[in-house]
Each structure stands twice: as C-alpha cells, then as structure tokens.
Amino acid sequence: MKHVLLGAAAAMMLTTANFAYADTIKLEPGKETNMVLLPKFLGILVFDQANEGAQEAHKELGNPGKLEFTGPTPENSTAGQIEIMTTAGTQKQGAVMLSNNAGDQIVPAAEAAQAAGTKVVTWDSPIPGGKGESVFVAQVDFGSIGTVMADMALNILGGKGKMAVLSATPDASNQNAWIESMKTALAADPKYKDIELVDVVYGDDQAEVSYNRALALVDKYPDLGLIMSPTTVGIQASAKAMQDEGLCDKVKVSGLGLPSEMASYTMNGCAPEFALWDFRDLGYLTYFTSYGLATGQLKGEIGETFTAGRMGDYTIEADPGREGAKRILMGPFTVYNKDNVEAAAK
Amino acid sequence: MSRLFSWEGFLFACLIVIFTFNAVAAPDFLSISNQINLFQLSIEKIILALVMTFVIINAEIDLSVGSMMGLSACTFGYLHQMGMPAALVILICLCIGVAGGLFNGWFTARLGLPSLVVTLATLIGFRGLARVMLEDRGIGGFPDWFAALGQKGLIGPIPFALISFVVLFFVLYILLERSGFGRKTYVIGSNRDVADFAGIDTARHKIIIFTMSGAAAAFAGLLYAARVGAVRGDVASGFELDVITIVLLGGVSIFGGKGSLVGTLLSILIVLNLRNGMALLSITGHIQTGVIGLLLIASVVIPRTKLATPSFLKPEVTP
C-alpha cells in the first residue's frame, strides 16, 4: 500500500509539472559511446554551428568514442538520411542526432536503428508522428514561434498590410508547424486583423530557388509589404533579392535568420527585425541528451531532469504539438534589430 | 577466357577489390543484416536498372522511371487514404505503369519522336500529376501487411523486394540472352533500319520494352512506399540518373546494340558495395557522389582510350 501511495505521489509530481524536488541527474563523463550528428543536408551554416556545439559537449564530457558529423547532399536528402540512419544501426552507434528532412519516411529506418540499440534523438526538426524517436530537442516552443513572427510582422507593417511566407521544403515538419502556429496567432488576437497572409511558397532551402521565389512573390502581389521566411536560407535570399531589385522601401523581409548573415540587411533596412535561437546551444544540448540516453544514464522518460553542462537543467516533457511524443524545450528566442544585430554577428 | 578479359572481367576485378576492402575496413560489412540493407536501400533503383538495360540496348532511353515511381507511390497513398482496399490500389498502380509505358512507347516508336524528348516530357508530366495529387502533404499509415512486405524478411531475413530482384534478374537474363526477343533487342539497337528490312516489327518491340519499363517503375514505386511507409510528391525524384549511371557503368552502350545484364549486375554490385562501404566508414554524401561520378567518367573514358589501354580493358566489340 505504501508503494502505491508513493507511486501515486510521484505520478502527481510528474503530471503537475513541478520538478523542483525531483532528482536532477548529473551525467557522468568519460563513458564511451559513438554518435552521429545527422543534419538535413550538408553545407548549411546553422548545421555547422550545431556541430560546433556538439563537438564542444563531446570534449567536455570526455567521451572516448567518436562523434561523426555526416549528412546527405541536398538533392538526395530523404534517401540519404534513410541510408545514414540504417547504417548507424549496423554500425551499432550509440545515438543518431537527427534533424529530420524525410518526414515519416524515416520511421522504418529509425525504428530499425532503435531495435539495434541506437537511440534516435531529433533536434531542429522532429519526426512528425513521433515514431522511432527517443526524444525531440526543441529549439523553442513551436507555438511561441508563431507569436514572435506575428509580432514582428505587426511591427514592420505598422499594423496593416499584406504578407507572404517563404518556407524551406514542403515536408519540413518544423517549418509547417511554425507556419501553422503563426496562422493561429494571427487569427487569435484582433490586433493582427489587418495583416493578411496571402501566400505560402517553398524555396527548398536553396539560395537560388528561394531568391527566385521571393521575386515571384513581388510580381504576383504588387502591394506585398512583407516576406516572412522562417528559414535562414530563405530570409537571406529574400533580403538579397529585395536589395538587388531596390525594393527594400516597399517590401520588407523578416523571419528566422542568422545575425552574421543578416547584419547588413538589418542595418540598411531591408530586414529591420528577425529572430533566432543559438544553434551552437542546440547542438550542445542535443549532445548531452543523446550522451545520457546512449550511456543509459537517462531513460528518456517524461519528468527526468538532467544537467546539460553550461546550459543548466532541462526536463523531458510531453510534446504539446505531437501526441505521444516527448521533447526537451531549449528556448528562448532572441529578436534582432538595428540595436543588437552587429554585436551578435561577431 | 574472352569473358575474363572483357569489360565485365574488369568490373568483376573492381568488385573483388571493393568487396575485400570493405570486409577488412568495416567490421560490420559482412553481417547478414548489412548485406541485406545494402540491397534494400537501393532496391528500387537496381530493379529499374535491369529493365533500363533493355531500353538502352534497344538504343532508346527512359528518363521517366523516377517520376513514374513517384506517380505510382503517390497514387497508392492517395487512393489508400480515400479508403480503397490496398490490393485493388496496387493493381491500379501497376496499370498506371503499363499505361505510362505504352504512352512513352507509342510516341517514340509509332510517331518516331526521340525517346529522350518523349520521356523528358513524361518525366515532368508524371511528376506533375504526383504533385497535384498529394500537393505538399505526406501520406502514411499503410496496412501492416503492406509495410511488413516492404520492411521485414519474407524468406528468413530476405525481404520480398530482394527476392523480386533476384527472380526478375533470372527471368530477364533468359529473355535477353537466350530468347528471340533478346536477339531482336540487340539487332534493333544496333541498326533499326536493318531490323526493319529483316521484317522485324521494330515499333511493336520498342513499345513492349517501354511498357516493361513503365510497369517496372510502377512496381518499384510500390516497393518504395512499402519500404519507407510514407509517400510524398518528391518520392524518387532524380532516381533516373542513378539508374542510367549504373547501366552505363555496366558497359551498356548509350548508342544501343551492346551490353549485357551480367555487366549491369556487376555494376549494381560495385555501386552498392562502394556506397555501403563509404557509409559504414562515415564518409559524407558529397564524397560518395564524387567517387561514383569519377567511376562513371572512368567507365566512359577507359574503354575508348586506344593507345594507353591494354586490350583486356576494352569492352567486347561485336563484329
């Protein structure tokens, strides 16, 4: 009976999301496990930054195993991710850290890897259905991204105007979730009522495609006031397109961008405001999570709290956006403008 | 003996080298599950390569196979989501493959348009249809038996798709190397005019081969859907180039009339072993693509370098 009561008490603690008294797990360094950091594809700066963060954590934890940073080529992203995931199971890797670009097509490969003892931790972009995934390290709360983007639109457009979204690939689950959450935010509060979302287009996260899509948007909607691009490739390409065509007075650009890539556009007024989180931190936290799971120090259960080095304590929780899936929420957001972008770009 | 000093002999030597290297360098390479994965990861492409060998020996090309795979996979997802029974949908998808192949064949053989143009058009057209159907959605949730067919072993650990590949290889081998149909394929590929004068219905023959290619692509699309358990509009986009690469590397002449299924098979094994070995050694995608590209350049250049090449490196020349 005593056990039952204890169990009930523990369950209550978990469900009320009050973890103040739960034991915080300190990960023991120096355990050996090989891991793979698998981005959507190679050649994107933010993924390289995530790798830097993961390498930092790898050194800090003194893991004698190997940390590989490997990914497919852009035109082969889906098949390449499936191949690397399958191979990781064969190699008996401790964990694969995946920024998923294959939608649910990755599920059989991820489940096979899990069955072979390889943990699958997603970051940046999760597996939509949550199957085959141990836990998702979410950069920010997907719901709050919508509000941040809606607020930036409100500021830039001065409360009234037309906006279009330029996204990455149609099946990037993070992008779709953010666009949805922005639509929800726009509909929820009457202060956004004069902002009209006219279109969503896809630039495939390739600079040239995105550049052309941005120009096509301006042609299609002559009275467009803002291009909102929740991807670092799209926002930079859009800003460059508007700058090259001398349209920055009419059409502004905003979304999620890297300070180092966006500083000049912010200073010349093409992209007055944009937001992002730190991808180095995301890689760092993802590594700690994966290391914990791969070495058996974390079970991957809801309510577990652990210390992720310099970033402090994090807790595994239910993912509000995906039923049955688990996440670790990193947060928070930084909004960049003329005042802080140059400092962040260095 | 002549076989040993042929292009196939050279490919076989390459294969032994790559296979041995993999076995030594990557400890998990020889495990049964890896050997099966090695085929499974590219199973659709290698099935298409077998049929593409017929198309190219026949002096044609079919660029639409990747798009037909996508169309078939997307049709499966779309109709299944609408509530049609999976078995019926599979039949419909195969019929679409046959129809698409007939379309390619008809325009090429009867109207005399170049297959490069016709199948480029259907590459765009089939893909367009697939994208119209699914828009930007991904569809999953296929029946368990369908997913199991694509992902689990059917005979022991060997999955259905791999068994299909082996059976198809033997059937097509007999068809190409041991039947009148195969001899006609070579003759038409060498010189269509001569074949016409000899009384062969060359147009009919070409239509049959394009139809085989369309049906195989639709079948491959279904295998893909079963293997990955979800589909979207860009399924298998760009696969046609990998398929053609494998066939050309196997020594099949792009001008038709020359080549063999054994060459294609050896080329398949080389490409798969090379990719698998590099993947096990965690070599990134860019380098993998680069290595395969170099290999293809070599396969084009080496047999045509008259002076510097020892005779055994030259492909067999049919008199």
Which positions ≥6 away from A157 have C-beta within 8 Å?
A163, A195, A225, A226, A252
Is residue B318 in some structural domain?
no
- pLDDT of amino acid B248: 92
Closest approach of chain B CAs to the CA of A36, in angstroms?
9
A-chain residues within 8 Å CB-CB of B233?
170
Cα–Cα dist B115/B126, whole Å:
15
Decide if pLDDT at B35 tops 90: yes
In which domain, by residue range, is B250 found?
7-313
**Is B262 or B281 the better-scoring residue by pLDDT?**
B262
Q: Please, what is the Cα angle at A104 between A100 and A106, to 5 degrees?
A: 60
Is residue B51 in some structural domain?
yes
A-chain residues within 8 Å CB-CB of B284?
42, 70-71
The domain defined by A19-140+278-335 folds into Rossmann fold (3.40.50)
Decide if pLDDT at A13 tops 90: no
Question: Quick check: A108 contacting B, CB < 8 Å?
Answer: yes
Which positions 245-304 of A are in contact with B (Cβ < 8 Å)? none
Decide if pLDDT at A334 tops 90: no
In this predicted complex, what is the ipTM? 0.84
Cα–Cα dist A89/A91, whole Å:
5
Q: What are the tens digits of pLDDT across the range A303-333?
A: 999 999 988 899 999 998 888 899 999 977 8
Q: What percent of chain A shows pLDDT beyond 90? A: 68
Same fold, A19-140+278-335 and A142-276: yes
A-chain residues within 8 Å CB-CB of B238?
75-76
Is residue B2 in some structural domain?
no
Closest approach of chain A CAs to the CA of B152, in angstroms?
10
- pLDDT of amino acid B283: 84
Give which of A50, A285, A83, A102 is closest to B282, Cα–Cα: A83
Closest approach of chain A CAs to the CA of B197, in angstroms?
45
The domain defined by A142-276 folds into Rossmann fold (3.40.50)
Contact A50, A280 (CB under 8 A): yes
**Is A311 or B315 the better-scoring residue by pLDDT?**
A311
- Nearest-by-Cβ selection for B136 from A92, A102, A170: A170
Q: What band does A9 get if pLDDT is binned at 50, 70 and 90?
A: very low
B-chain residues within 8 Å CB-CB of A108?
147, 150-151, 227-229
Decide if pLDDT at A14 tops 80: no
Cα–Cα dist A95/A100, whole Å:
14
CB contact under 8 A, A90 and B286: no
The region, left, alpha or beta by phi > 0 then psi within -120 to 50, assigned to residue B96 is alpha
Q: What are the tens digits of pLDDT across the range B243-275?
A: 999 999 998 989 999 999 999 999 999 999 998
Decide if pLDDT at A4 tops 60: no
CB pairs under 8 A between A and B: 84
- pLDDT of amino acid B314: 53
Lowest mean pLDDT among A22-36, B68-82, B86-100: A22-36
- pLDDT of amino acid A31: 92
Report the domain count for chain B. 1
- Mean pLDDT over A25-31 rounds to 91
Q: What band does A18 get if pLDDT is binned at 50, 70 and 90?
A: very low
Q: What CATH number does residue B33 fall under?
A: 1.10.3470
Cα–Cα dist B282/A71, whole Å:
9
- Mean pLDDT over A134-142 rounds to 90
Which positions ≥6 away from B79 have C-beta within 8 Å?
B89, B92
Q: What are the tens digits of pLDDT across the range A154-163?
A: 999 998 999 9
- Mean pLDDT over B32-39 rounds to 92
Give which of A180, A158, A166 is closest to A218, Cα–Cα: A166
Question: Quick check: A72 contacting B, CB < 8 Å?
Answer: yes
Tokens of B168: 């198809």
Which positions ≥6 away from A273 have C-beta within 8 Å?
A152, A155, A156, A254, A266, A335, A336, A337
Mean pLDDT of chain A: 89
Tokens of B7: 């292009």
CB contact under 8 A, B284 and A36: no
Decide if pLDDT at B299 tops 50: yes
- pLDDT of amino acid A228: 96
Q: Please, what is the Cα angle at B70 between B67 and B75, to 5 degrees?
A: 125
Q: Please, what is the Cα angle at B112 between B110 and B116, to 5 degrees?
A: 120
- pLDDT of amino acid A159: 87
Q: What percent of chain B shows pLDDT beyond 70? A: 93
Closest approach of chain A CAs to the CA of B234, in angstroms?
9
Contact B180, B120 (CB under 8 A): no
Q: What are the tens digits of pLDDT across the range A161-174?
A: 999 999 998 878 88
Q: What band does B286 get if pLDDT is binned at 50, 70 and 90?
A: confident
Per the DSSP assignment, residues forming a β-bridge with B155 are B158
CB contact under 8 A, B279 and A87: yes
Q: What is the DSSP track for chain B? A: -TTTTSHHHHHHHHHHHHHHHHHHH-TTTTSHHHHHHHHHTTHHHHHHHHHHHHHHHTT---TTHHHHHHHHHHHHHHHHHTT--HHHHHHHHHHHHHHHHHHHHIIIIIS---HHHHHHHHHHHHHHHHHHHHTT-EEE---HHHHHHHHSEEETTEEHHHHHHHHHHHHHHHHHHSSHHHHHHHHHHH-HHHHHHTT--HHHHHHHHHHHHHHHHHHHHHHHHHHHSEEETTTTTTHHHHHHHHHHHTT--TTSS---HHHHHHHHHHHHHHHHHHHHTT--HHHHHHHHHHHHHHHHHGGG-TTTS-GGGSPPPP-
Contact A178, A150 (CB under 8 A): no
The region, left, alpha or beta by phi > 0 then psi within -120 to 50, assigned to residue B177 is alpha
Q: What are the tens digits of pLDDT across the range A216-242?
A: 999 999 999 999 999 999 999 999 999
Closest approach of chain B CAs to the CA of A136, in angstroms?
20
Is residue B46 in some structural domain?
yes
CB contact under 8 A, A105 and B138: yes
Decide if pLDDT at A22 tops 80: no
**For B201, how many CA atoms within 13 A lie in the half-sphere containing its CB?**
6
Mean pLDDT of chain B: 90
Decide if pLDDT at B40 tops 90: yes
Which positions ≥6 away from A39 have C-beta within 8 Å?
A47, A50, A51, A69, A71, A99, A124
- pLDDT of amino acid A77: 86
